[in-house]
A and B are shown apart, each in its own frame.
Chain A
Amino acid sequence: EVPLLESGGGLVQPGGSLRLSCATAGFSFSSSTMTWVRQAPGKGLQWVSTISENGRGTYYADLVKGRFTISRDNSKNTLFLQMNSLRAEDTAVYYCAIWATSSYALDVWGQGTTVTVSS
Chain B
Amino acid sequence: SYDLTQPLSVSVALGQTARITCGGYNIERKNVHWYQRKPGQAPVLVIYRDANRPSGIPERFSGSNAGNTATLTISRAQAGDEADYYCQMWDGSSAIFGGGTKLTVL
Of the A-B pairs whose beta carbons lie under 8 Å apart in the complex, a sample of 13, sorted by A's number, is A37-B97, A44-B98, A45-B97, A47-B94, A47-B96, A59-B93, A97-B43, A103-B52, A106-B33, A106-B35, A106-B43, A107-B45, A107-B48
Return chain B residues, CB-CB under 8 Å to A57: 93
Q: How many A-B residue pairs have CB under 8 A?
A: 65
B1 → A minimal CB distance (Å): 8
Return chain B residues, CB-CB under 8 Å to A111: 41-42
Return chain B residues, CB-CB under 8 Å to A103: 33, 45, 48-49, 52, 54
Please, how many angstroms separate the alpha-carbon atoms of A111 and B38 in the complex? Answer: 12
Any chain A CB within 8 A of the CB of B23? no
Chain A residue nearest to B43 (CB atoms) is A109
Interface range for B: 20 to 34
In contact, B94 and A112 (Cβ under 8 angstroms): no
A59 → B minimal CB distance (Å): 4
Q: Mark B residues whose CB is within 8 Å of A.
A: 31, 33, 35, 37, 41-45, 48-49, 52, 54, 84, 86, 88, 90, 93-100
In contact, A106 and B45 (Cβ under 8 angstroms): yes
Return chain A residues, CB-CB under 8 Å to B97: 37, 44-47
Tally A residues with Cβ within 8 Å of B: 22
B88 → A minimal CB distance (Å): 7
**Most interface-central of A35, A45, A103, A104 (chain B CB within 10 A):** A45
Return chain A residues, CB-CB under 8 Å to B86: 44-45
Chain A residue nearest to B34 (CB atoms) is A105
